[in-house]
Structure 1
């Protein structure tokens, strides 16, 4: 764009004429237009091949050579023209009549930008030759839109400058200056339209420019933040892990040590990268600010402090108007400086805000209302104030509800005589009320393999025998914490979804049937498991508080229908002999899978140890975990899972590296660790569960087909009966 202005605008103008008088612009020499046109043509060819490379229409090795050569020749030819013209101008004493005008200064700015493009592309080509970069430009959607937005802004500036030339009766170069001070919202008010038509047209055109410039600033910030939080952060994470491993390798003895070590590495790397990004943005901003101040002082003859004052007023968009550039060189410098300084300042503010707010996240868990209430309630002089602000008895705090959920301990052991194992205790932590984690080997009548783990697939077959040609999967599905009552699945709506307004769907028959079936099908593989720890009082309190939370969200929520649909209403005590009745597995209306008289898991399905139902159970468990990950991905994408959550996840998805390197923490500190690269954990969980779900579905279909038709497939893909 600036190269076009260097052609359109005159390189010299007669002295001592009015700024709006364009009749005294000197006619430039033919060789000025010729060399300038050649430079513009080379720049256009280079830019065209660069765009083709972005679109993958031309090979990298071809387009890169053309682009690098083109930008270099364009910058060198224009630089030679500037030096020659400057010598020609003063050697022939043309400065007695003329003065350097807009075209010359636009050419100087164009040379600087062309040379910057050449350096950047040359460094990229050098990195490719040194095998540091791949021969491809990986630009995302934001960067593609930034290219379009920049092109649109360039067209807007060219057309706006032409409009300003006709409406304000000013030189074409000053028209660009007027458009620039308009979109950066400085409003110096040096020159304004003099009639209603000009005011209306320029106001409409400036509004369009504000939209384009705002989009560009937003895209620049998104591009810088994404690059800093992905590529640079990845390198920072790897470097931090390598340095700290040399210091703490002997102290890492277990999975938990390695997991906590990687969490510390992640926190340190994240903070370090934010500080480096802030420091880089600050340095770039200060260079632009100080160089701009020096440039304005040089062109306008101001003291340096006055140049700094003008730059400050421009950056904060004060537009005082008492100090403004009046020379052609100062106005051209402002056009380039303003379009670069505003995004740099915005990026600096964004990096600073991100650093400050990331450090303040630790205070999010502090409820200031509770702090004030406790302080007021502890003082006898402020107890009246505490009573005024005390919560109503019919409401429930979401944080208290979450804490109550995590305190619930519902576990299954190997048998009645054994105490809870450490693994069973770990599995019982941080789960919804009524969630049950069956310990490996806890289901009677199920064979145990040589490593001591239960064969989960044997649950599906009578007598614990596997169907022919069926592989033995890991016995992990019976150890996953799952709801034992349909109402326990609804806690996810409270803890992860803060946008619900109406909860009528919770009481709909279709929704009740769906969550009931999900609960029973998910617990099918642990049929007959013995419960040794179940605090019914805590579970009932949590479920009652859940109803209060629903009522707080939706004032029209029907609690009676909820208690009736989910069988939460109080009934006869099943522990009394005279009222105990046998709730058999054929009772399809029963919601809970937990059979309280003998503390066992019983589902509604009549067929027991069925091969198909057992495989459907594993699919249901994966779907349940997938739904949890997707909800977390939607409402809390930066959530970090605990070690127990990762253990369930990696075992469910049958991560072979984790299962083989699961003793001394090598998995978490190794190259295959999911904590060793920038990772949104809910998204990682959801995508992995989805792939594993599809894999299990294909495996189930193939194993069932082989068992039924006794088909095999050789390596050539032919079917053999």
Structure 2
């Protein structure tokens, strides 16, 4: 190594050590190292992008409407007091427009950040600065209005536009703070400088923006056709799309009633897409950050509790990842080579399988109840906080506020209590757009737990009463030996009276039927028995499956039948879970195409996976696919290996026969 290269290497090592000692670790965009702070890296950007358009809407309401109104004693056609707007100072309008421009620009830079049009280190600080600037302007306007041009009581009051500005300032401030948290995580090196969002999450951003734009379009339309203020028109559009139907504001003209049809249908479609995307996002986050970690903890706990039959051997539940490019022995063959009975090894492997299946069942219950409890907590938080706000803004008791919030969340919409004050209506718009998806999430989680349990109970009741299944009562009676023996004696007497054979003749008849049903004389592959009907003992001693296929044609036929079966299971609506015996059948078909010699099996080859451990990280039960889909992929890979081996044998035989064919053609040519 030359002196210059040594000095360069020393400088690089020095810079690396300095960077590691520094509290700041700025990671590049192409960094693929593990990420943490998942709330800051994923949830915060998505919340910011979906909430920013709502803050922009509140800013628009604050700009296009007057901040002060005079409340008259007369009422309008809806029974509400007539409010005449008062002109705002020009400085108020100018600063309000500046605040809206800053809010829109901050939202635009955030979208540029998502699309990577502008670098993260530039776009994110710009969004934060612009939103804090918008917050500062709105706070300054509201404070100046309160000091220099306040409404004169008792007839004058602040309008919905004023309270919309207050809500917009709060939203912009919250958005700026949470983006600061996101940037702090990047500076500390918890994730690289980009938003790692999926296509579904980007779609949620577009859907939310489309929904907010649709609300603004509705506000513009109904502001003109119903002759109400822009703020009331936005409130009416929100109530209409959410199907609340309070009746405090209704379409009074034929044109307005005609426009309700297309506007409501399109708005409900967009809202449904938004709610579905929110549910999907919540499930993805919970699966990645809660469910998978729960499974890993359970799996590691099971491995740590595992013991072996032979102390000198490695734990059967211990999994060691294979180094790339090396071969490993399969569990069964490896222990068979050291003298352990194959049946014992298969039973131990089945124990690992059962342990992983138990983890699956426990995780399923954990996931369902975790999601339900979390949804109940979120619902309770949104419901009670909303009730506190309406309790303070409206002339209601807290119980009446809870009643109003509950009816709104369930979209009952009696109309006996409605938002009536200028502060309550804009707050209701923001609250309802958060509360309704929360309620939908709760109902969805209840369908997986409480509703599913109720359905199971009704199915069981139907099986025992109006729709009994065949053999249901017989299985129950067999569990009570005295009752079963009495019914057997009664059946014997009945058979004697009718002339049917009993005693030794009947035992011989039953034994012959049982023997024909369980006879192993013919292999289950050839007689068409479904995989999984054999026991572990029969599978371990089955000479046909143990010895392997007689020919590539037979193996290809068995692979085709297995592929046909797993395809049906994969296309079925329910998620099929195979028994250990079924997995043994599939595993043998997958490994039957192993072309390696000396009893070694590859963990995987160029065509796919060969071997795995039931409770290890490579377990099929930990795959993102369903079990039929996983097995189907492996069987197809095995079919490819089988066809490739057949092709190679055919080409080899053809090359061996080529000299003989040339010799025969030469003899024929000479004779001719």
Partner of 2:646: 700
Structure 2 match to 1:85:
141
The CA distance in 2 between the partners of 1:437 and 1:21, in whole Å, is 85
Q: Do the aligned partners of 2:356 and 2:614 also contact (CA within 8 Å) in 1?
A: yes
Kindly indicate whether the alpha-carbon contact (under 8 Å) linking 2:109 and 2:124 is maintained by their aligned counterparts in 1: yes
Name the residue aligned to 1:609: none
Tell me by how many angstroms 1:643 deviates. 0.9
RMSD after superposition: 4.1
Summarize the alignment of residues 630-709 of structure 1 with structure 2, pairs less than 5 Å apart. 630-654=567-591, 667-709=613-655
For structure 2, list consecutive stretches of 5 or more residues without a partner in the other structure. 1-52, 76-80, 310-314, 317-347, 478-482, 484-512, 604-610, 658-672
SS in structure 1 opposite 2:591? coil
Q: 1:640 to 1:658 in 2, by over 3 A?
A: farther
Structure with the largest fraction of helix:
2
Tell me the CA shift for residue 124 of structure 1: 5.2
Which secondary structure does the structure 2 equivalent of 1:16 belong to? strand
Change in Cα spacing, 1:299 to 1:205, as seen in structure 2 (3 Å) is same
Higher RCO (C-alpha under 8 Å, 6+ residues apart): 2
- Give per-residue Cα distances to partners, 1:51-85, cap 9 Å, x unaligned: 414xxxx4xxx543345324422331122123212
For residues 361 and 30 of structure 1, the distance between their equivalents in structure 2, rounded to whole angstroms, comes to 59
Partner in structure 2 of residue 287 of structure 1: 381
Please state if 1:161 is matched with 2:219: yes
Alignment pair present for 1:330 and 2:424: yes
Superposed, 1:352-501 pairs within 5 Å as 352-356=446-450, 359=453, 367-368=463-464, 369-370=467-468, 408-412=517-521, 430-431=532-533, 454=547, 475=548, 478=549
**CA separation in 2, counterparts of 1:64 and 1:80?**
24
CA deviation string 1:262-312 (max 9, x = no partner): 111111122112222112111111111111111112222432222112101
Distance in 1 (CA, whole Å) between partners of 2:456 and 2:251 is 53
**Deviation for aligned residue 1:101:** 2.6
Q: Is the 8 Å Cα contact of residues 412 and 439 (structure 1) preserved in structure 2?
A: no
- Unpaired runs of 5+ residues, structure 1, are 380-403, 415-419, 444-452, 455-474, 479-524, 526-613, 712-721
**Are residues 193 and 636 of structure 1, via their aligned partners in 2, closer, same or farther at CA, if it must alter by over 3 Å?**
closer
C-alpha distance after superposition, 1:71-111 (max 9, x if no partner): 42233112212321232122225232753333333333334
Q: SS where residue 620 of structure 2 aligns?
A: coil
Paired residues of 1:50 and 1:64 also in contact (CA < 8 A): yes
> Is 1:258 matched up with 2:195?
no
The offset of 1:117, in angstroms, is 4.4
How far apart are 1:360 and its partner, in Å?
6.5
Q: What is residue 52 of structure 1 aligned with on the other side?
A: 115
Matched, 1:298 2:354: no
Q: SS at 2:415's partner residue?
A: coil
Contact 2:226/2:253 (8 A) holds in 1: no
Counterpart for residue 190 of structure 1: 248
- SS of structure 1 residue aligned to 2:157: strand
Instruction: Give the deviation of 1:639 after TM superposition.
Output: 0.9
Match of 1:311 in 2: 405
Partner SS state of residue 275, structure 1: helix
Contact kept in structure 2, 1:45 and 1:67, CA below 8 Å: no
1:241 matched to 2:350? The reply is no
Moved more, 16-25 or 212-221: 16-25
- Residue in 2 that maps onto 1:348: 442
TM-score when normalising by structure 2 = 0.65
> Residue in 2 aligned with 1:24?
86
Quickly say closer, same or farther: Cα 1:109–1:245, change in 2 above 3 A.
farther
Q: Deviations over 1:469-513 (max 9, x none)?
A: xxxxxx3xx3xxxxxxxxxxxxxxxxxxxxxxxxxxxxxxxxxxx
Q: Which residue of 1 aligns with 2:321?
A: none
Paired residues, number: 499
Give the Cα–Cα distance (whole angstroms) in 2 for the partners of residues 702 and 213 of structure 1. Answer: 58
Q: Deviations over 1:175-203 (max 9, x none)?
A: 11001111111211112222222221234
Aligned mates of 1:77, 1:710 — CA distance in 2: 83
Deviates more, 1:621-630 or 1:333-342: 621-630
CA distance in 2, matches of 1:631, 1:372: 25
The verdict on how the C-alpha distance between 1:413 and 1:439 changes in structure 2, with shifts beyond 3 A counting, is farther
* CA apart distance, 1:633: 0.6
Normalised by the length of structure 1, the TM-score is 0.61
